[in-house]
Amino acid sequence: YFIQSNLRLARVMSTWESEHLSQGSPKYHISDDNKVHIYNMRFCPYAERTVLVLLAKNIPFNIVNINLKNKPDWFVESTFGQVPVILHKENIIPESLIGCDYLDDVFGEPKLHPKDPLQKALDRVVVEKQSGMMKFLFPIYVKIPNKIVCYDEKVEMFDKLVDYLQSFESELGGRGTTFLGGEESPNMADYMIWPFFERVECLPKLIDEKFTLPSSLVHVHAWMKAMRETKPVKEYGLSPERLAKATSISMEFSDYDKAMKESAGL
């Protein structure tokens, strides 16, 4: 079982470090009907949500990385042109939150959404709220076409980001558990929010120490540490060093494959 499970992991891992398919790439052939296939981009936080859920639920899957800077025609024609997209049986499901909900509905244990509909709704509200951190985070770490965000603007954005994260600090404090999902393990809300914090965590390495989350965000820090110890994040998550290096390369060369290869092992 140990060997099988490591082989499986090795096989899957080899797909998620695979080349991002571009214009002119032959159409990806979906061979295994019961498996879940996902159109992905190695560094996309939204696509990461889906991978974390697949890993947390032990669902067998294949990843197809897509070069979002130069998309294959067959990708654009069969989807809305963004990742993630789940392909399962005849179903094509874009949108990370909808895709993740679908996986939780269709596949068994562990169920990631709370059983109680009220708690599930409250968790979804937290996810919506925390997803809003991207409006401050995005201008700090991404290169926006035709728009230069200067250092001082980034510092200002970071201040607003830290302010915004007070709400997550309060939420975690209020629940009194390590994860939103409880003491034992993350739930759907934890996995939906994690990818943003993976980006937050790389900022000191990407820019400088000014972009470190203050230690006063006690619960957030504890949560991040605990999330790093979970199986899905250990397997698929990117270390701050790797993400920082990959982000720099992506920003400079718009080349995800180069970013992936030259940051491997960090």
Partner 1 sequence: MSINKTALLISRIGRVMSTWESEHLSQGSPKFDIDENDKVNLYNMRFCPYSERTVLVMLAKNIPFNMVNINLKNKPDWFLQSTPGAVPVILHKEKIIPDSLIACDYLDEVFPETKLHPQDPSQKAIDRVFVGKQSSMMQFLYPIFAKIPDKDVTYDEKLVFFEKLVNHIEGFETELSKRGTSFLGGKESPSMADYMIWPFFERVDCLPFLIDDKFALPSSLTHVNAWIKGMRETKAVKEYGMSPKRLAKATAICNELADYNKAMKETVGL
- CB of residue 174 vs partner 1: minimum separation in angstroms? 13
Handedness of CA 168, 229, 264, 16 (dihedral sign): negative
Q: How far is CA 152 from CA 139, 143, 147, 159, 200, in A?
A: 12, 15, 14, 11, 17
Backbone angles phi, psi at 76, to 5 degrees: -65, -35
Angle, alpha carbons 96-98-101 (nearest 5°): 105
Q: Does 108 bind partner 1 (CB under 8 A)?
A: no
Q: For residue 94, what are the β-bridge partners?
A: 85
- Spatial separation of the C-alpha atoms in residues 96 and 49, rounded to whole Å: 7
The catalytically annotated residue of 44, 100, 150, 202 is: 44
Q: How far is CA 265 from CA 13, 32, 43, 138, 203, in A?
A: 13, 30, 15, 25, 19
CB-nearer residue toward partner 1: 30 or 125: 125
- CB of residue 128 vs partner 1: minimum separation in angstroms? 6
Kindly indicate which of the ranges 3-11, 84-92, 177-185, 199-207 contains the residues binding partner 1, using the contact rule CB under 8 A. 84-92
Q: Does 24 bind partner 1 (CB under 8 A)?
A: no
Kindly indicate which of the ranges 37-45, 122-130, 194-202, 222-230 contains the residues binding partner 1, using the contact rule CB under 8 A. 122-130
Residues 166-185, interacting with partner 1 (CB under 8 A) = none
Q: Which of 99, 139, 181, 186 binds partner 1 (CB under 8 A)?
A: 99
Q: Does 210 bind partner 1 (CB under 8 A)?
A: no
Burial (CB < 10 A; 0-12, 13-18, 19+), residue 57, is buried
Q: Is there a catalytic annotation at residue 150?
A: no
Q: Does 134 bind partner 1 (CB under 8 A)?
A: no
**54 near 112, Cβ under 8 Å?**
no
- CB of residue 100 vs partner 1: minimum separation in angstroms? 10
CA-wise closest residue to 205 among 125, 266, 160, 115? 266
Q: Which of 6, 91, 166, 216 binds partner 1 (CB under 8 A)?
A: 91
CB-nearer residue toward partner 1: 100 or 238: 100
Q: Does 105 bind partner 1 (CB under 8 A)?
A: yes
- Other C-beta atoms lying within 10 Å of the C-beta of residue 17: 13
Q: Does 117 bind partner 1 (CB under 8 A)?
A: yes
**Residues near partner 1, by CB under 8 A:** 80, 88-89, 91, 93-95, 98-99, 101-102, 105-106, 117-118, 120-122, 124-125, 128-129
Q: Which residues are catalytic?
A: 44
